[in-house]
């Protein structure tokens, strides 16, 4: 089948909720997009006598990364079908038993939100294929430049949002305060966009969330915290909340700043990222690399760092380890790596879904 359009993604989500009563529950997100579209997520899990820990997975954030929605729709459908039928799952050489599937959905709830940015995906699929942002024109200031529409949703979260103050002047974080930056405009304020507020709402509604995965492309990586600087586990005062270190973040290998993370959290995050990569590799031998987000490039305002930062800014919130999948690559046979030919995307879906199943099993 070809890539799903936005109507088909929504139809798939609602159909799964209808087809698997008792295992899947439809969640209506509270805020419509600028163009008036209401989004939905699925909560998947077997009934349990006590509340379960939760893994949250989102996709379709960057409009041009078409396959992320398909990855999550197929992931949800595969698990639901296998659980109901009492069967295992096979993705090439990565095989999961029926007992593993039953264990996964009995021990965990999964919140799957495949299409965060419906307006952007529609625009990418019908007008400008490489469009990345949402379609909010509020900050364009009347400019006729079409690039001035929209916000990069994965720079709009409340983590070091004032990047000009937070980062060293010589650092090069991949973020911009210019509304006419077609790629990484962060928006006027953190959570200025309904799409990111919907993700925050999902987190607030599921306080037992312990792990968060944002599905993107492309680089064949599994990224974990942090994304603003190198990690260190020695000096807890050297952290994103401490303004003493403003203007010092974002340079690799320097002594002025590294972002604090407890060693136990980093070790766990790395092991989970490695588990994902092992699941991917088992399918057909495609190597993905586990690494911190900073080692891809320095960023601020991203979903994975925001979710992990929440328990530092508000101790009443539970700890959530944040991850970002970067599926696919720029191989010569993919003229556009953000939406490769469907035959290749089908193989990528199998790769990533195997990795996500292995990841979820690793947290149980």
The superfamily (CATH) of domain 6-363 is: Zn peptidases (3.40.630.10)
pLDDT of 140 reads: 86
pLDDT of 1 reads: 58
pLDDT of 144 reads: 85
Domain boundaries, the chain: 6-363
CA–CA separation, 217 and 291 (whole Å): 15
What does the pLDDT profile of the chain (364 residues) look like in tens digits? 589 999 999 999 999 999 999 999 999 999 999 999 999 999 999 999 899 999 999 999 999 999 999 999 999 999 999 999 999 999 999 999 999 999 999 999 999 999 999 999 999 999 999 999 999 999 988 788 999 999 999 999 999 999 999 999 999 999 999 999 999 999 999 999 999 999 999 999 999 999 999 999 999 999 999 999 999 999 999 999 999 999 999 999 999 999 999 999 999 999 999 999 999 999 999 999 999 999 999 999 999 999 999 999 999 999 999 999 999 987 655 678 899 999 999 999 999 999 999 999 999 9
Residue listed under structure tokens 């790395």:
270
pLDDT of 3 reads: 96
CA 81 to each of CA 65, 105, 253, 280, 356: distance values in angstroms, whole numbers, following the listed order: 26, 12, 47, 21, 16
ω into 28 cis (within 30 of 0): no
* DSSP secondary structure letter of residue 185: B
pLDDT of 355 reads: 98
CA–CA separation, 82 and 21 (whole Å): 15
CA 18 to each of CA 32, 41, 77, 89, 113: distance values in angstroms, whole numbers, following the listed order: 22, 13, 12, 22, 16
Structure tokens at 253: 């290998």
Beta strands at 259-260 and 231-232: parallel, antiparallel or unpaired: parallel
pLDDT of 329 reads: 87
Going by C-alpha positions, the residue among 361, 357, 273 that lies closest to residue 91 is 357
CA–CA separation, 188 and 191 (whole Å): 9
The reported pTM is 0.97
Side-chain half-sphere of 252: how many Cα atoms within 13 Å? 11
């Amino acid at each position: 089948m070809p890539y799903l359009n936005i109507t088909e993604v929504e139809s798939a989500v609602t159909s799964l909720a209808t087809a698997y009563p008792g295992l899947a529950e439809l969640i209506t997100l509270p805020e419509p997009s600028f163009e008036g579209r209401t989004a939905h997520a699925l909560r998947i899990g077997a009934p349990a006598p006590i509340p379960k820990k939760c893994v949250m997975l989102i996709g379709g954030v960057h409009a041009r990364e078409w396959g992320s929605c398909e990855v999550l729709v197929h992931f949800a459908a595969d698990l639901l079908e296998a659980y109901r039928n009492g069967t295992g799952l096979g993705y090439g050489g990565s095989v999961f038993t029926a007992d593993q599937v039953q264990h996964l959905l009995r021990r965990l709830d999964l919140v799957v939100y495949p299409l965060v940015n419906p307006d952007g995906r529609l625009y990418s699929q019908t007008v400008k294929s490489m469009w990345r942002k949402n379609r909010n024109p509020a900050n364009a200031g009347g400019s006729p430049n079409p690039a001035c529409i929209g916000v990069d949703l994965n720079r709009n979260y409340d983590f070091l949002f004032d990047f000009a103050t937070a980062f060293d002047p010589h650092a090069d974080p991949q973020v911009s305060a210019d509304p006419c930056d077609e790629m990484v405009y962060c928006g006027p304020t953190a959570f200025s966009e309904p799409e990111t507020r919907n993700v925050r709402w999902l987190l607030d509604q599921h306080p037992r969330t312990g792990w968060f995965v944002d599905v993107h492309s492309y680089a064949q990586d599994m990224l974990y915290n942090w994304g603003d600087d190198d990690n260190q586990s020695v000096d807890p005062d050297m952290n994103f909340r401490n303004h003493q270190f403003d203007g010092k973040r974002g340079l690799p290998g320097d002594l002025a700043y590294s972002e604090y993370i407890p060693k136990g959290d980093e070790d766990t995050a790395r092991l989970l990222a490695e588990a994902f990569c092992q699941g991917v590799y088992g399918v057909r031998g495609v190597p993905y690399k586990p690494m911190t987000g900073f080692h891809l490039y320095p960023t601020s305002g991203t979903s994975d760092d925001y979710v992990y930062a929440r328990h530092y800014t508000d101790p009443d919130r539970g700890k959530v380890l944040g991850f970002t999948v970067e599926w696919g690559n720029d191989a010569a046979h993919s003229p556009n790596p953000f939406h490769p030919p469907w035959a290749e995307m089908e193989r990528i879906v199998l790769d990533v879904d195997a990795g996500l199943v292995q990841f979820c099993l690793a947290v149980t």
